[in-house]
Amino acid sequence: MVWRSCMAFLVVSLTTAAGAFAQPSSIGSEAAGPPPQDWTFDIGPGAVMAPWFEGGAYYRVLPVPNLDLRYQRDKVFISARDGVGATLLDVAGFKAGPILRYRFPRNEWDGPGLYGTGFVPFTVEGGGFLRYDLPFLAAKIELRRGLGGSNGLVFDALVDGKLRLADNFFLSGGPRLSVTDATFNQAYFGINAAQSFNSGYAQYYPGAGLRSVGVGTSARWRISDKLTGVAFGSYNRLADMAADSPLVSGPAGSPNQFVVGAALSWRFEW
């Protein structure tokens, strides 16, 4: 009963937290402390400041839930940060398995500069991840394909240095890179004939290419055995086909994309 209730609450919250797409993908780590029990459920309030849309120059602050349900750390996980997945391979520091992530719909009223550009549906991206951990360094790659919505292909890569400043305080951060195919880029950065007529932008049909490069960081502070504070931030520079989009190069756009946020979480274990 507890399991079903947690699952239902988590799914509803994840699908209603508009703007959570902006949270940076981070490897992260547990602050030092007693090892968790098999099941952990972290829940708490959070807030994110991010662009109205990817490529936008104007920002907004949104409340987002900090939710994370796990079985034996990452054998199975449902997380606002890490998506939905499972670890099927765990050998000599390497971990791999399936991953699902979500990308919220984009409407033409979602911020200045989008009027007339139409609607991009909600997208579930399915694929796989490969992660490698060392004591002071971790790396992860993901390859995902949109299942509906944009139907685009996304490759993400990141490397995090890991630094424990105290038993209850942990920092991580490093470079990020994202590559997307023409289908993804057309959905989020392209302008077809109808969109050009309605919005006034010139037509634009991008191909595949480097979407962005940047850096991300996060800090975790274990306030008590149950309460944890998290702060995170990222900077991504849109590149190649994305940067050349009229949405990005126009007066309401910018290739420089910043995200900052913070959250508290309370842990339940069983």
Domain coordinates in residue numbering, the chain: 2-269
User: pLDDT digit string (tens) for 217-264?
Assistant: 999 999 998 999 999 999 999 999 999 999 999 999 999 999 999 999
Task: Name the stretches of the chain with pLDDT < 70.
Answer: 1-36
What pLDDT score was predicted for residue 25?
46
What pLDDT score was predicted for residue 74?
87
Distance CA(28)–CA(82), nearest Å, equals 10
What pLDDT score was predicted for residue 11?
39
What pLDDT score was predicted for residue 121?
93
What pLDDT score was predicted for residue 111?
85
Distance CA(181)–CA(98), nearest Å, equals 20
Distance CA(180)–CA(199), nearest Å, equals 24
Distance CA(111)–CA(108), nearest Å, equals 8
- Candidates 83, 96, 76, 175; CA nearest to 123 is 83
Return the CATH number of the domain spanning residue range 2-269.
2.40.160.40
What pLDDT score was predicted for residue 65?
87
